[in-house]
Amino acid sequence: MPAFRLNHMELTLPPGTLESDQDAICAFYSEVFGFEAIPLPVPVMETPGLVLRTDEHTSQFLLLSEQEKCIQSPGYDHLGFIYDSRAEVDDIREQCGQWAKKDDRLQIKDYDDIVIGTSTTRAFYVRYLLPIWFDIQTVEYEPGTEPANRWVYQ
């Protein structure tokens, strides 16, 4: 079976969201996660849109568009971002905590480390002005128990 990578996720927002919150969305997701924000109309839907991309080729991105029928996620529906180290996750958690001090719309759900067998997952959830949570995590393995296949970023 061929392997796949995440290309994009579209999140629909209520009409007017980008007009009122686009600057805050761009600032948070670029400063904390390194996304580059590109405002654009979404031609297929003829609606305002915003692309939050991870790289100059737009190989991975979040597409935010406004729709009358938009996503509503009252639970813990989420998209997971995996990082290489505990230090990276802890640094992002600290940045989110600083944002929460200046904007009470930012929500954080902390978790104790999850130990399963020879692996330990360090994670927290964050949600800010978008209709889903983001699971920020790293998985640490005891020496010699790392999976044979792992993503490598260059």
Q: How many CB atoms lie within 10 A of CB 132?
A: 17
Q: Show me where the domains of the chain are located.
A: 1-68, 75-144
Q: Out of 3.40.50.2000, 2.30.30.240, 3.10.180.10, 1.25.40.340, which CATH number does the structure's domain 75-144 have?
A: 3.10.180.10
Which CATH number is 1-68 given?
3.10.180.10
> With 0-12 CB in 10 A as exposed, 13-18 as middle and 19+ as buried, what is 99?
buried
Mean pLDDT of the chain: 93
Whether the predicted pLDDT of 2 surpasses 90: no
Model pLDDT for residues 30-86, shown as the tens digit of each residue: 999 999 999 887 666 677 889 999 999 999 999 999 999 999 999 999 999 999 999
Give the range among 9-18, 34-43, 68-77, 138-147 with minimum mean pLDDT: 34-43
Question: Which residue has 């190989």 as its token pair?
Answer: 59
- Take residue 13 and report the two structure tokens written for it: 């927002």
